[in-house]
Every structure is written in C-alpha cells, then in structure tokens.
C-alpha cells in the first residue's frame, strides 16, 4: 500500500512538472485616435525610429519593423547571440475611422532567452517596449494626452 501511494505521488509530481508553460498574452493595443491618418502614421514612424526600430511601411496601412537595435553599432548581435536578452519587433495597422479620427492596432512581438545554449521563446514585452508605452509615446507625439 505504501509503495502504491508513493508511486501515485511521484506520478502526480512528474505530470505536474512536465506541462508546458503557457505562452504570454499578446501585447496588443487597438484604439481610435483623434488625429488624421497621416499624422498618426508620422507619429508612429517617429516614435518607433527613435526607439531603435527600423521602420518599413509595407503599404499605406501596414507597418512592420525589424528587431530593435539595443546597442547601436556592430556589438548588438553579440548581445543577443551570446548573453541573451529580450528582442522585440512591432507590427502596426493604421486605418482611417473618420475624417478626424484614425484606428491604430499595435502589436509588440517579443522573444527572449537567457544564455548561449537556450532557444528564443515568446516572452512578455519589456516595459519600455510594451504596446501600452508605445501608445503613450505616440499620443505624446500627437499631443493628445
């Protein structure tokens, strides 16, 4: 009887430890801003470029960035490859809602690792790169705080 209970406890512990961790919730903001589409596009471009992202508009409404450059210059790759960190990129969709308002959907996609021999996994965005903080900076740029 004692052996059976021990086997059940060990089995429960192994099953509990073997589950995969839940991926973080997507870091997404979907808002309507009281500014024209061109002003919002310019503000998004300026804020993300100042934040270290290489901004590329794929068409009139869709923006995609590369991974954010944490250290300007040739050493950025070694920070990510060797030491591990969080790297993020941004996708945005800017569509006109009315003549005086624009809908903005902003997705911050973050991956992280903590060393040389680990792989990149989806992680929660770092606070300075979070979608909420990017929206705050965009509103500040548009002067609609």
In a domain, 53, yes or no: yes
Using alpha carbons, select from 20, 5, 91 the residue that is nearest to residue 53: 91
Count of domains for the chain: 1
In a domain, 26, yes or no: yes
**The whole model's pTM is what?**
0.74
Residue % of the chain over a pLDDT of 90: 47
Q: Write out the residue range of the structural domain in which residue 107 sits.
A: 22-142
For residue 121, the model assigns a pLDDT of 79
For residue 83, the model assigns a pLDDT of 61
Residue % of the chain over a pLDDT of 70: 72
In a domain, 4, yes or no: no
Contact indicator for 107, 133 with CB cutoff of 8 Å? no
Using alpha carbons, select from 25, 39, 15 the residue that is nearest to residue 102: 39
In a domain, 1, yes or no: no
Q: Please report, for the domain that includes residue 138, its CATH number.
A: 3.30.530.50
- How many helices (H) does the chain have, and how many strands (E)? 4, 6
Contact indicator for 125, 103 with CB cutoff of 8 Å? no
Residue-averaged pLDDT of the chain:
82
In a domain, 40, yes or no: yes
DSSP-derived secondary structure for 1-20: -HHHHHHHHHHHHHHHHSSP
For residue 126, the model assigns a pLDDT of 80
């Amino acid at each position: 009887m004692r052996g059976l209970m021990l086997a059940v406890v060990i089995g429960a512990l192994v099953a509990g430890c073997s589950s995969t961790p839940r991926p973080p919730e997507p870091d997404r903001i979907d808002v309507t801003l009281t500014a024209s589409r061109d002003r919002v596009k310019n503000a998004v471009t300026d804020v993300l470029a100042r934040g270290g992202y290489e901004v590329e508009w794929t068409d009139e409404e869709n923006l995609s960035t590369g991974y954010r450059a944490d250290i300007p210059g040739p050493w950025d790759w070694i920070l990510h490859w060797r030491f591990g960190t969080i790297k993020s990129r941004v996708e945005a969709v800017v569509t006109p809602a009315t003549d005086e308002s624009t809908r903005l959907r902003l997705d911050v996609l973050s991956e992280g690792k903590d060393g040389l021999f680990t792989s990149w996994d989806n992680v929660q965005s770092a606070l300075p790169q979070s979608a909420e903080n990017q929206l705050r900076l965009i509103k500040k740029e548009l002067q609609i705080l």
